[in-house]
Amino acid sequence: MHFDTLAIQATHQTDPTTGAVVPPIHLSTKFERDPETYELVGPYGYTRFSNPNRDAFEGALATLEGGAVGMAFGSGQAATMSLLQALRPGDHVVMPRQCYFSTPMLLEQVFHPWGLTYTRVEMSDVQAVQAAIHENTRLVWVETPSNPLLTLTDLLLIAQMAHEAGALVVADNTWPTPVLQRPLDLNCDIVMHSTTKYIGGHSDVLGGALVFKDANNELATRVRQIQQLGGAVPSPFDCWLLSRGLRTLGVRVRAQQATAQAIAEFLEGHSRVERVYYPGLDSHPQRALAKQQMNGPGAMLSFDVKGEAEDALRVCGNLKLFTRATSLGGTESLIEHRPTIEGIHTMAPPNSLRMSVGLEHAEDLIADLDQALKYGR
C-alpha cells in the first residue's frame, strides 16, 4: 500500500459500540474490574500505563514508519529523555555536532552528570564518526537533514558502522517525516519524533514518539518501563489530535514541499541572498544522497541574507505573511533567526534565516519574500 492509503487505514477504526466513524476520546484515567473474577473488563487498567487513544496512535505511527512498536510521550524531549534513561551510567553516545540544539543540551546537562559519556561529531565526516565510536558506545544519534543547515547523514553507512561496533542507531525523523524518509528501512534501529511538528501539523499539540524496528529489543522493553513508570506520557486528547494529524500528513508535507522548492529556487536567484540550504537544489553538496535516501527534500530551508545579522533581522521584520516564531511543521509559514534562539553555541551563520513553509500559496509567499528583501540600504 502507498503511504497515504496506509495513513488512512492505520488511523481509521469504526467504534464497535456506537458505529462512530471517528474514534471517541477516552478521557477516563481508570478502567473497571469484573465483580466475579476481579479481572479488568477490557485491556486497560490505568491511563499512565496505556489508553485506547495512545495505543491507537502508537500503533499507527509504528505502521507508517515500518516499525514493530511505537511509544508516545508528552514531548519530543520526553521521548529523547526516556531513551537516554534506558541506557546505563558508563554507556557512551555519539551525538551530532549539528542537530536540534536541545537534544545535546539534555545529554550534556542532565545525562552527563548522571553518568552517560558522549562525543559530538560532524556526522557527514565518516572517518570522524568511525573514530568517535568506542567499545562502550550504545547509541549513535542521527538527525538528517539536520537543524538548521540541512546537512545530510548517510543512514545506511552510519547504521553499518554502528552495528559493527554493537551500537544502535536512532534517527530523529521529525523534519522529513515517514512521508519523505523511513530510517528503519535503511537499517536504523529506532526512530524518534517531535510529533509537535509535522505529525500534529497544526501548531496546537506538544508530543514526542519513539518507534522500534524490533519489538524484542532489550532497549525497547526498558523504554516501555520508563514510559509507564516514569509517566512522561501525552493525554488522550493529544493522542487523538496526533492520530488526526497522521491522516493528512502525506498531502500536507507534499504540498509544503512543492512550495519550499519554488521558494528555494526563487531565493537562490535573488541578488540579496548569499546562499540557500535546501537538499532540493543542485547546489546542495549532498543532492545525490538526498535523492538516494529520501522521497523528497522536504519543506524546511535556511538561507543567508547578504550582509550581517541586522540585515537578516531586517528581512525577517519586513515579512508580512510569515510568522516570526520558532518551531515548524504547522500550516502557517514561519521564519526565524536561529542564531538568536540558539545563542553563542549556534552553528547557524549570523545572517541566516530558517523557514518552515506552510500551506499558503507559493506565489503569495514568494511575493512577500521579494518585497521583504527589497529594503533600501
Ligand X SMILES: *Cc1c(COP(=O)(O)O)cnc(C)c1O
Closer by beta carbon to ligand X, 175 or else 212: 175
Label the pairing between strands 92-96 and 117-121: parallel
- Grid coordinates belonging to 212: 522500534
Q: Please tell me whether residue 77 binds ligand X under the rule CB under 6 A.
A: yes
Closer by beta carbon to ligand X, 194 or else 351: 194
Query: Which residues sit opposite 143 in a β-bridge?
Result: 172
Sheet containing 352-356, strands listed edge to edge, beginning at the edge strand earlier in sequence: 273-277, 300-305, 352-356, 334-336, 323-324
**Coil, strand, or helix at residue 277?**
strand
Give the range of 25-33, 189-197, 226-234, 364-372 binding ligand X by CB under 6 A: 189-197
Closer by beta carbon to ligand X, 64 or else 273: 64
Q: Please tell me whether residue 208 binds ligand X under the rule CB under 6 A.
A: yes
Q: How far is the CB of 300 from ligand X (least distance, A)?
A: 9
Q: Please tell me whether residue 197 binds ligand X under the rule CB under 6 A.
A: yes
The CA angle 71-74-78, to the nearest 5 degrees, is 80
Which residues, at least 6 apart from 63, have a Cβ–Cβ distance to it below 8 Å? 6, 10
Q: Please tell me whether residue 234 binds ligand X under the rule CB under 6 A.
A: no
Q: Please tell me whether residue 336 binds ligand X under the rule CB under 6 A.
A: no
Q: Please tell me whether residue 151 binds ligand X under the rule CB under 6 A.
A: no
Distance CA 196, CA 206 (A): 4
Label the pairing between strands 334-336 and 323-324: parallel
Distance CA 287, CA 290 (A): 5
Q: Please tell me whether residue 270 binds ligand X under the rule CB under 6 A.
A: no
Closer by beta carbon to ligand X, 50 or else 196: 196
Give the range of 25-33, 171-179, 246-254, 317-325 binding ligand X by CB under 6 A: 171-179
Q: What x-and-dash track marks residues 87-116 binding ligand X by CB under 6 A?
A: -------------x-xx-------------
Q: Please tell me whether residue 76 binds ligand X under the rule CB under 6 A.
A: yes
Q: Which of 238, 236, 243 is nearest to 52 (CA)?
A: 236
Catalytic site residues? 48, 100, 172, 197
Q: Please tell me whether residue 57 binds ligand X under the rule CB under 6 A.
A: no
